[in-house]
């Protein structure tokens, strides 16, 4: 049985131990020792990493009463070595986990929200509640958690030898089915719950607590949050972004929102003007294209490469159609060709004509009845290909 020193002192980062076993496993080695400061993957958080004597510890997992330390090199059985965890990693994860305890207690105290899930990754952490919260409630919860963190309250862990010994101990969360020893982590004047993980000694070590996202999740809510150094990095990144935007608008950081709102309003007006001008331009272009349509036995044929927005090509092509006629319009943007084939008052089916257009242009497209469309990489000799298509469609209209 591995003696788990982290249960007694979360700030103990190294210890002397004896190697009990070592076996090859998945490109590394599984090692057991008699006592360790290494915390395994457990309780919703990642394990400690570090060194065991001269070798690296890359993973730690539970196997019954034993902890299995995955190392990158073997160690002789019976050798005395020093185990040393990555202290910065441990302190960071402890800050997130203790911050989660505070947030969970605040949600429970303020709104009756129950923690139903916790996950701590190396760059973020999430807390799942069974209760949906409004943005105002999320802020209230965040404010309260930060207030208790700033009070620098003691955080203690007590181990009980039985369920009976827990009687009378006020707990926010008591996981059912626990076997002794049962560890209870308590934040003075605030939270108390069963937990197996290392925690900070005082809430001041948590630092700032920032909820960065709140989303509906399984009938409740998932909160994404950052504590301590992670929160600071988040604030610094936001400040960098705000400063960059402020420079773009030649304004102070606190005036950025007003500047963006003003530009948004101006942009809406510009878009309205652009839409009106585009509509007028399309009217002129439609009239010009209609005038260029050629008569083929009493029917109109228009085959034209135009300078137009690909998104507007279809309505433009349809607008050129007379009572009897066929139109093929093409437009080119950034090496990509878009084309629309449409007809009115003819027996021709565009679904039968579009394969020939696709073949000539090296494109893909489809349709049926009076409309078909497609696209292709802009082919070499596009002008000549358009002329060939015009000749082909002229013949098909003449025979209609």
CA dist., res. 236 & res. 106, Å (int): 26
Confidence (pLDDT) at 28 = 95
Which range, of 78-82, 122-126, 177-181, 359-363, averages the lowest pLDDT?
A: 177-181
pLDDT at 174 over 80: no
**Quick check: 5 and 36 in contact, CB under 8 A?**
yes
Domain 293-398 = CATH 3.10.310.40: yes
User: Taking all residues of the chain, what is their mean pLDDT, rounded to a whole number?
Assistant: 93
Spell out the domain ranges in the chain: 3-85, 90-236, 252-291, 293-398
Mean local confidence (pLDDT), 47-54: 97
What is the domain class of 90-236 according to CATH?
A: alpha beta
CA dist., res. 31 & res. 21, Å (int): 6
Mean local confidence (pLDDT), 37-55: 95
Reported as a single tens digit per residue, the pLDDT across 240-256 is: 998 899 888 888 888 88
Reported as a single tens digit per residue, the pLDDT across 145-170 is: 999 999 999 999 999 888 888 888 88
Reported as a single tens digit per residue, the pLDDT across 83-107 is: 999 999 999 999 999 999 999 999 9
Reported as a single tens digit per residue, the pLDDT across 277-329 is: 888 888 888 888 999 999 999 999 999 999 888 988 999 999 999 999 999 99
Confidence (pLDDT) at 71 = 97
Task: Indicate the CATH number for domain 3-85.
Answer: 2.40.30.130
Reported as a single tens digit per residue, the pLDDT across 361-372 is: 999 999 999 999
Confidence (pLDDT) at 176 = 67
pLDDT at 262 over 70: yes
Confidence (pLDDT) at 92 = 97
């Amino acid at each position: 049985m591995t003696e788990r020193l982290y249960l007694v002192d979360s700030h103990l980062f190294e210890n002397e131990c004896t190697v009990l076993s070592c076996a090859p496993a998945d490109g590394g080695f599984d090692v057991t020792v008699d006592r360790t400061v290494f915390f395994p993957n457990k309780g919703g958080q990642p394990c400690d990493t570090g060194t065991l004597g001269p070798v690296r510890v890359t993973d730690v997992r539970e196997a019954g009463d034993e902890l299995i330390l995955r190392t990158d090199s073997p160690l002789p059985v019976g050798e005395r070595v020093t185990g040393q965890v990555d202290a910065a990693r441990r302190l960071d994860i402890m800050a997130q986990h203790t911050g989660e305890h505070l947030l969970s207690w605040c949600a429970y105290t303020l709104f009756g929200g129950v923690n139903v899930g916790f996950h701590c990754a190396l760059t973020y952490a999430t807390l799942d509640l069974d209760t949906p919260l409004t943005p105002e409630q999320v802020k209230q919860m965040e404010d309260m958690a930060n207030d208790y963190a700033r009070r620098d309250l003691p955080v203690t862990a007590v181990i009980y030898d039985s369920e009976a010994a827990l009687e009378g101990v006020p707990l926010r969360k008591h996981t059912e089915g626990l076997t002794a020893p049962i560890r209870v982590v308590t934040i003075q004047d605030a939270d108390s719950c069963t937990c197996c993980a290392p925690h900070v000694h005082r809430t001041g070590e948590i630092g700032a607590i920032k909820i960065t996202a709140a989303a509906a999740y399984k009938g409740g809510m998932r909160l994404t949050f950052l504590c301590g150094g992670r929160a600071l990095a988040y604030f610094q990144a936001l400040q960098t972004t705000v400063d960059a935007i402020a420079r773009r608008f030649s304004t102070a950081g606190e005036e950025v929102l007003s500047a963006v709102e003003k530009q948004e309003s101006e942009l809406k007006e510009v878009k309205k003007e652009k839409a009106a001008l585009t509509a007028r331009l399309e009217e002129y272009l439609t009239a010009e294209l209609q005038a260029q349509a050629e008569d083929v036995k009493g029917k109109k044929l228009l085959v034209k490469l135009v300078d137009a927005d690909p998104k507007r090509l279809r309505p433009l092509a349809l607008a050129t159609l007379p009572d009897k006629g066929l139109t093929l319009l093409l437009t080119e943007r950034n090496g990509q060709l878009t084309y629309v084939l449409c007809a009115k008052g003819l027996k021709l089916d565009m679904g039968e004509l579009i394969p020939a257009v696709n073949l000539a242009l090296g494109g893909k497209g489809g349709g049926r009845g009076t409309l078909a469309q497609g696209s292709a990489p802009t082919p070499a000799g596009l002008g000549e290909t358009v002329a060939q298509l015009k000749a082909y469609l002229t013949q098909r209209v003449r025979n209609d």
